Amino acid sequence: MKALLVRVGIDSSYGKWNAPMDPYSKEFVYLPIPESKRSHAHLKRHYTESLPSLTQFCEKHSINLLSDLKFPSALKGAVMHLDPDFNELTYGDNSARRGAVLSKMKTEDIIVFYASLRPIRRCTHKLVYAIIGLYIVDEVIVTAEVNKNRWHQNAHTRRVNPQSSEVVARARKNESGRLEHCIPIGEWRNGAYRARQDIINKWGGLSVKNGYIQRSVVPPQFNHPKQFYRWFLKQNVRLIKSNN
């Protein structure tokens, strides 16, 4: 069994913003990175789709999307790289680079998604690194083999002329999805954001040195996937087949 810890979501490097979360309730909004390549016109996904969820989050927590959260006006009409797509239970990547391990994953392997979120209230850290989703893999398929009537299901197959090395993982229903509430796992330690050591111990270890999760070319792997998954189930967080 393999289990990957994959960083996703808009941040200061990709999109120049961090999606919000409440450090007390652990509620959050999932916002993907901007799309960097051309997509089929009829398959494009825009950030305007996420505005209702962001607005609802702000209203619930009595904050303003523009004045408090500084939502970039440039994103309003931009195309987003909706990946993972929790509504479709897919995740794509380039197997020639970051997705090399993804291309070798098999049924029942695990993909864990985490993001750097900005807390809307004062807490220990400026950013909260937290798990936001989990997939139990059903299959991994190269984009060239995806039927045209399923192109809409992932950002990589929505693209015009995707690279031959790109692959898409499809997840098992009822066992996969976006988390209803995020699970914070990070802290600022030794000059970077890292997974907390007490949590790493409960997982049985990570493949990266000193729990480094701030930015990585190769996604970390869990040393003991089954041990991690037992820990995850004990968190008792509901998985939702929806992006927000």
The letter for the amino acid at 73 is S
pLDDT in tens, 76-131: 889 999 999 999 999 999 988 788 999 999 999 999 999 999 999 999 889 999 99
- Predicted local distance difference test score (pLDDT) of residue 98: 82
Distance (Å, whole) CA 61 – CA 82:
25
Which residue numbers in the chain have pLDDT < 70?
A: none
pLDDT in tens, 202-213: 999 999 999 999
- Predicted local distance difference test score (pLDDT) of residue 99: 86
- What secondary structure does DSSP assign to 132-196, as a single string? EEEEEEEEEEEGGGS-GGGGGGSHHHHBSS--TTEEEEEE-TTS-EEEEEEEE-EEEETTEEEE-
- Predicted local distance difference test score (pLDDT) of residue 97: 78
Structure tokens at 173: 């229903």
Distance (Å, whole) CA 35 – CA 88:
18
- The residues near 147 (Cβ < 8 Å, ≥ 6 apart) are none
Q: What's the per-residue H, E or C state across 98-147?
A: CCCCHHHCCCCCEEEEEEEEEECCCCCCCCEEEEEEEEEEEEEEEHHHCC
- The residues near 96 (Cβ < 8 Å, ≥ 6 apart) are 163, 165
- Predicted local distance difference test score (pLDDT) of residue 17: 97
Structure tokens at 212: 């480094």
- Predicted local distance difference test score (pLDDT) of residue 216: 78
Provide φ and ψ at 137, rounded to 5°: -65, 135
Domain spans in the chain, listed from the N-terminal domain onward: 3-237
